[in-house]
Amino acid sequence: MADGRLSERLPDFPWDLLAAAKRAAAEHTGGLVDLSMGTPVDPVPQVVREALAAASDSPGYPLTAGTAALRAAIVEWTVRTCIAPGSARSGPRSEASAAGTAPSEGLGVLPTIGSKELVAWLPTLLGIGPGDTVVIPTVCYPTYEVGVRLAGATPVRTDSLTSLGPARVKLVWVNSPSNPTGQVYPAGHLRKVVEWARERGAVVASDECYLTLGWEDEPVSVLSPEVSGGVLDGVLAVHSLSKRSNLAGYRAGFVAGDPEVVSELLAVRKHGGMIVPAPVQAAMVAALSDEEHAAAQRAAYAARRDVLRAALVKAGFEIEHSGAGLYLWATRGDDSWSTVDWFAERGILVAPGAFYGPAGERHVRVALTATDERVAAAVERLEI
């Protein structure tokens, strides 16, 4: 193999590092309670399964841009959830047939193979490379950094854009609600990020996979008029159906925002064969068009969150941020790996904060994605 392996640019795959703790936790007499990765455990909604099955006879190549029905469903959901009806406007509009956009709303939309795929490849798809800087949050989802390194660009962890100086910034990642912390940024903060980026010609990509899971805090989309100023130039929002609709196994996500940027993403993705399978596209239409299952899933997470949070506090943990999303960001001031071992002794697997950056080394991330029975088992073990 030639010198300079691409994998050498990348950090260790974090979940591989958790294998020993998982084995230790699995030895508990009551079995493993896995609160680490955040993998959905509840059933895929019946309406979604029926749509997938009905579209299973799909022998032809699907459209990278998505079917007309899927694009319409994404637009409708995004306007309804992220913006406000009739408020999405931008500059010159691309034709829908060429860019997967919805001219009636001025909103570019594009289905993706889950959200992680887009996060990992967005810098490359935008032509970012050596000499360019990409800003990622101080504590954040590891794939932001991975995507920057895959492109050969320079990642900078900061929550203060004024500290960057003259760096040639091409992309700014924001994540609200945050994974792992659950922190929610107010509209005023996000608006300042968008204004700063526009002044420099940078794109703002907002990972909003947990937008509909606000608890104490109410998240706001980067596409909302109070953040974007009513125009979508240079702004992208990334969404996933993995948690909302239990579709992690389907790999179903999308990106919405500036139609010119989305058009460029589509042009490159067509060459790369980055296509959501046709049956999954049909399933996405069903999922986005039905809010009943999403409300029921949200209620299930809320109930699990209440009991887990109370048990953690009773066990001496402080819960920081965590006003939204699917995780509790917990600390007792100890090293995160030591805390992972403490949980493993009780048959519970959690994620070390060190996975998410040096600033997370005194925390652990506790996921809400376990069955009611497993959550109850975790609560019982924390009380001992």
> What are the tens digits of pLDDT across the range 195-214?
999 999 999 999 999 999 99
Token pair recorded at residue 171? 């992309």
The closest of 335, 363, 361, 365 to 350, measured between CA atoms, is: 365
Quick one: what percent of the chain has pLDDT higher than 90?
89
Q: How far apart are CA 372 and CA 232, in angstroms?
A: 41
**For residue 73, what are the contacts with CB-CB under 8 A and spacing of at least 6?**
284, 285, 288, 289
Q: Is the pLDDT score of 177 beyond 80? A: yes
96-115 tens-digit pLDDT = 333 444 433 589 999 999 99
Count CB-CB contacts under 10 A for residue 158.
14
The pTM of the full predicted model, rounded to 2 decimals, is: 0.92
Q: Which domains does the chain have, with CATH numbers?
A: 6-43+293-382 (3.90.1150.10), 46-83+105-290 (3.40.640.10)
- Provide φ and ψ at 114, rounded to 5°: 75, 175
231 touches 89 (CB < 8 A): yes
What pLDDT, in 10s, does the model give residues 269-286?
Answer: 999 999 999 999 999 999
Residue 244 one-letter amino acid: R
The reported pLDDT for the residue numbered 3 is 61
**Residue 46 confidence (pLDDT) above 70:** yes
Mean pLDDT of 52-67: 98
Burial-class residue 13 by CB neighbours within 10 Å (0-12, 13-18, 19+).
exposed
| pLDDT tens per residue, range 118-151 | 999 999 999 999 999 999 999 999 999 999 999 9
Helix 259-272 with 114-125: angle, nearest 10 deg: 100
Distance of CA 64 to the CA centre of its chain: 21
Strand positions, DSSP E, the chain: 33-34, 101-102, 107-112, 133-136, 154-157, 169-175, 203-207, 235-240, 253-257, 318-320, 327-331, 348-349, 351-352, 364-367
On the question of pLDDT at 95 being above 60, the answer is no
CA pair distance 263, 258, nearest whole angstrom: 9
Q: For the beta carbon of residue 156, count every other beta carbon within 10 angstroms.
A: 18
